[in-house]
Amino acid sequence: MTEKKEKKITIALVAHDKMKQVMLEWAKEKIDTLKQRKLLGTSNTARQLKNVLDLEVEPFGHGPSGGDIYLAAKILDNEIDKVIFFIDAETPQGHEHDIQTLIRTAVINNIPIALNRATANHIINEEN
């Protein structure tokens, strides 16, 4: 009898430039849980998490260069279970439409999306 291998929860990690330090601090607090998940992240966020925390995060592109849209597509392809996106709500972003598309795609597809630390804590502590 073969044992069915349980699928790892896949979490996308994204942080605007001014929020990268917040993401690093949060990930350091949650590192034991994050190491048990499959992680994807925009290129700069993934690189920083790898370099600072030695956390394996598969990069998928730069947010302003289509990374947010690529992530939305991964949600549509049922490849993402949760999104942690630390946004800089005080600074206008040149790719606001892409960000809104990503948020809407997560909402429409019932994918938990955290836009701040408090919500990220809640999402990461959920069992599924």
State pLDDT tens for residues 22-77.
999 999 999 999 999 999 999 899 999 999 999 999 998 766 666 788 899 999 99
Q: Could you tell me which of 86, 102, 83 has the C-alpha nearest to residue 37?
A: 83
Contact (Cβ atoms closer than 8 angstroms) between residue 19 and residue 42 = no
Catalytic, 54? Answer no
Please give the pLDDT value at position 5. 61
Residue 1 in this model has a pLDDT that exceeds 60: no
Within 13 A of 91's CA, how many CA atoms are on the CB side?
11
Model confidence band, residue 122 (pLDDT cutoffs 50, 70, 90): very high
Catalytic residue among 17, 32, 54, 68: 68
What is the pLDDT confidence band of residue 92, given thresholds at 50, 70 and 90?
low
Domains of the chain (ranges; CATH) run 15-125 (3.40.50.1380)
Grade residue 128 by pLDDT with cuts at 50, 70 and 90. very low
